[in-house]
């Protein structure tokens, strides 16, 4: 059973930094794209950043210049470095990964349980 475990969320003051981590575990053949989404209370889920297996990145305009996504393929882990945090960044952040379990199965999207990020003003 594949599991994505997020860590690093918490409460931080405006202008502060947090580093989120998401580690995939289980019987995994390969992991393709990994990414971070967030959902604020009462708002729709939105893509924050994603990164391919080869390291190509896509970052939302709202966080460009402040957030950086990276990954460690050897550890099946993706990171989100969040700097200059603003109150509007407050949300539950969800890890996502496209994972192939065997060479004979298609990729499947997996989600973590989410980690709360709260930025106080």
Condensed to tens digits (0 to 9), the pLDDT of residues 99-118 reads 999 999 999 999 999 999 99
- 12 pLDDT band, cuts 50/70/90, is very high
CA dihedral 20, 26, 27, 30 (to 10 degrees): 0
- Report CA 75 to chain centroid distance, whole Å: 15
Sheet containing 18-25, strands listed edge to edge, beginning at the edge strand earlier in sequence: 3-7, 18-25, 77-82, 67-72
Share of the chain above pLDDT 90, in %: 98
């Amino acid at each position: 059973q594949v599991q994505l475990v997020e860590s690093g969320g918490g409460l931080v003051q405006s202008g502060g930094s947090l580093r989120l981590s998401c580690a995939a575990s289980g019987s995994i053949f390969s992991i393709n794209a990994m990414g971070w989404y967030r959902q604020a209370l009462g708002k729709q889920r939105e893509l924050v950043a994603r990164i391919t297996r080869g390291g190509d990145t896509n970052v939302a305009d709202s966080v460009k210049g402040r957030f950086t996504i990276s990954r460690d393929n050897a550890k099946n882990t993706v990171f989100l470095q969040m700097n200059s945090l603003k109150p509007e960044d407050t949300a539950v952040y969800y890890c996502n990964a496209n994972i192939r379990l065997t060479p004979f199965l298609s990729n499947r999207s997996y989600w973590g349980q989410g980690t709360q990020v709260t930025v106080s003003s």
